[in-house]
Amino acid sequence: MAHTLAPDTEALTLRHGDLEFDALAAGPADGPLVLFLHGFPEFATCWRRHLAAAAQAGYRAVAVDQRGYSPGARPLDTADYTMSELVADVAAFADELGAARFHLVGHDWGGVVAWSAATLHAERVISLTALSTPHPAALSQALASSPEQREAMSYVKLFQTPGAAEEQLLDNGAAALRGVFEGRVPEDLVEDNLRRLAQAGALTAALNWYRAMTLESAFADAPAVSVPTLYVWGDADVAFTAVPARATGEWVAAPYRYIELEGFSHWLPEEAPDQVVPALLEHLSAAEEDEED
């Protein structure tokens, strides 16, 4: 059964241990797997245009409501949201889908997970595509050296404060949470995101990704990735400045393409599908050709 906001997809359930994750899938079951990882405060539906395009190109395209976002995968302990747990989920998704090797696409927090998974599971990742999110080491250095980058991420302190963050984000009809999207995300997706995050425990689970950073830093210095990488950044991004974006290539020890989109902000999956999708399909195709050689 298709999701009403992504009619070109079918619903799947993926399991990792006792956790059950909701996912959207499209394309032939025997096509090369492309896993799409969303960020905060979104769900798999943000990838609807990309899923349809990848499926049409012959890929098995799967986007997952990640840990905390799927009602069946919502542990209560903040320690269950560390990067090691999130990366383990990715490997489990690929196992569930029967893919020894796969392509990874991530945005925002999903981009952090994708960078990390491409490092820890390089032998399994055919290609990496990151939207908005720079390499964690580039971001770590920028946070240490750039006042602009520290200011851009100053909201994290609030998000890490239990109770206060939930109250402020959901107050007045979730006006602050709605404002996060800057009016750049289609209204049907925004309304669905807000509805789902207003469910009991949902927003806290999503915010646990930030709170787990105090237990295991997501932005600690990380090694260079060794898989073909496409990185797309909008120069009006409110979370990531040009400093880490333009330095990201220093942490890619493989074929690398960097695309800077003028006038686009943080929400590239929905803001810029016309720019992102062709670049993504070209990147996937080139990596597949290398895979066959």
pLDDT level of residue 220 (50, 70, 90 thresholds):
low
Query: Quick one: which of 231, 279, 238, 278 has its CA closest to 254?
Result: 231
The DSSP output letter for 198 is: T
**pLDDT, tens only, 126-148:** 999 999 999 999 999 999 999 99
- Which domain CATH number covers 254? 3.40.50.1820
Query: Is 258 an annotated catalytic residue?
Result: no
Residue 28 lies in a domain: yes
Instruction: Return the pLDDT at 82.
Output: 94
Residue 144 lies in a domain: yes
Query: Quick one: which of 197, 215, 214 has its CA closest to 206?
Result: 197
**Separation CA 54–CA 32 (nearest Å):** 10
How many domains, the chain? 1
* Catalytic-labelled residue, pool 108, 231, 237, 283: 108
Residue 3 lies in a domain: no
* Catalytic-labelled residue, pool 3, 210, 237, 283: 210
Query: Is 210 an annotated catalytic residue?
Result: yes
Amino acid at 169: L
Question: What is the mean pLDDT of the segment spanning 229-237?
Answer: 99
- Among 35-49, 90-104, 135-149, 232-246, the minimum mean pLDDT is found in 135-149
Residue 4 lies in a domain: no
Query: Is 135 an annotated catalytic residue?
Result: no
pLDDT level of residue 239 (50, 70, 90 thresholds):
very high
Instruction: Return the pLDDT at 222.
Output: 81
Would you list the DSSP string of 197-234?
A: HTSTTHHHHHHHHHHGGGTS-TTS--PPB-S-EEEEEE
Range of the domain at 101: 10-292
Residue 5 lies in a domain: no
**pLDDT, tens only, 155-209:** 999 999 999 999 999 999 999 999 999 999 999 999 999 999 999 999 999 999 9
* Catalytic-labelled residue, pool 3, 38, 135, 266: 266
Question: What is the mean pLDDT of the segment spanning 43-55?
Answer: 98
User: Tokens representing 2?
Assistant: 């298709």
Residue 2 lies in a domain: no
Residue 79 lies in a domain: yes
Claim: this prediction has a pTM higher than 0.95: yes
Residue 40 lies in a domain: yes
The DSSP output letter for 32 is: P
Token look-up 């405060």 returns 41
- Residue 230 β-bridge partners: 129, 257
